[in-house]
A and B are shown apart, each in its own frame.
Chain A
Amino acid sequence: MRAIELTHKILVLNGPGLGDLSDYDGNTYRGLTLEKIRSECSKLCRNLGMELDFRQTEDQDEMFRWIAKDSEGYDGVIINPVGYSRAATVSYALYRSAIQMIAMLKKPVVEVHISNIFSQSAEITQPLHEPVGDMGFVCGLGVQSYLLGIRAIAHRFGLDAAS
């Protein structure tokens, strides 16, 4: 079998807390693990002919270094920042400045969340309110939130999943 040439690279970044989803929004996403998300993203990227770099960190500073410094080497970035409006988890100001960096690089970004962050029970966070150009938003679809983000970025490059 001929190796498929991967022409585009996508970076998927997961923020603090996503390493362990065992008590996360239990009713809706029971059984979902970061490993499962990684594996679904990887399968889709292979199908699209894209190279995937999938990361998670418990350290918000590391997360922002990744966004600000590493994004440049990729064609698009998917970010699950978790709860950046909560001072205890991730700083909104840091997140905003990191996103502004990507905007300057003119890279497409999609912010994703596993659950619907607007549902009354959640109130974890708020989306970024900043005119940063090219940024999509998907929440509430579980692992599909990631997959939609990846497909949306791939579509920009004329890459669509075979059905």
Chain B
Amino acid sequence: MAKTIYFINGPNLNLLGTREPEIYGSSTLKDIEDRCRAIGARLGLTVVFFQSNHEGAIIDRLHEAINTAQGVVINAAAYTHTSVAIHDALRAYKGYKIELHISNPHLRESFRHVSFVSPVVDAVVAGLGIHGYELVLDVMASELQ
């Protein structure tokens, strides 16, 4: 059976392509999703994309992932720096998990320097642009072999 990877995207990522394109690029989240689905199909992975601006909805998806996904890629966006609840939900998820950011939060404002996500994931990938989504999918494929 094909392994399932959840890409969970946090607040404001629905504005991708229009919000500060100089930082985040001009692709929309739908563009990224389409590309990842195509790559996933080639790698034998089922790719599920999800975006929400609501903390609770993200947590519900992480709980769902416990039983349905072998890997989780989480771009919690601004909740990265505030959410103890997402930290706890990730701690409960035992599959392979990667924290992903389009830009590198460590080079930006000091309020983005702390991540509640980083200590409870296997790996962190940041600042590689939207290409980062495709790169972590390859990593998922090799980790879940």
Contact = CB atoms under 8 A, between A and B. Distances in A.
A140 B122 contact: yes
Interface string B93-125: 000001000001011101001010011011111
Interface residues of A, number: 26
B67 interface: no
A138 B125 contact: yes
A116 B118 contact: yes
A36 B120 CA distance: 28
Interface string A111-149: 000001011100000011111110111111100110010
A152 interface: yes
Interface string B119-143: 1011111111101100100010010
Contacts, number: 71
Contacts of B132: 152
B117 to A, nearest CB: 9
Given A135-B127, A148-B139, A155-B131, A129 B121 contact: no
A139 B98 CA distance: 10
B107 A138 contact: no
Contacts of B42: 163
A8 interface: no
B107 A148 contact: no
Contacts of B115: 118
Contacts of B118: 116, 118-119
A72 to B, nearest CB: 21
A133 to B, nearest CB: 8
A148 B106 contact: no
B125 A127 contact: no
A38 B98 CA distance: 24
7 contacts: A119-B119, A127-B106, A136-B127, A136-B128, A140-B122, A144-B142, A163-B42
Interface of B: 42, 98, 104, 106-108, 110, 113, 115, 118-119, 121-129, 131-132, 135, 139, 142
Closest 8 CB pairs of A and B: A140-B123, A118-B118, A136-B127, A127-B106, A152-B128, A137-B126, A136-B128, A141-B123
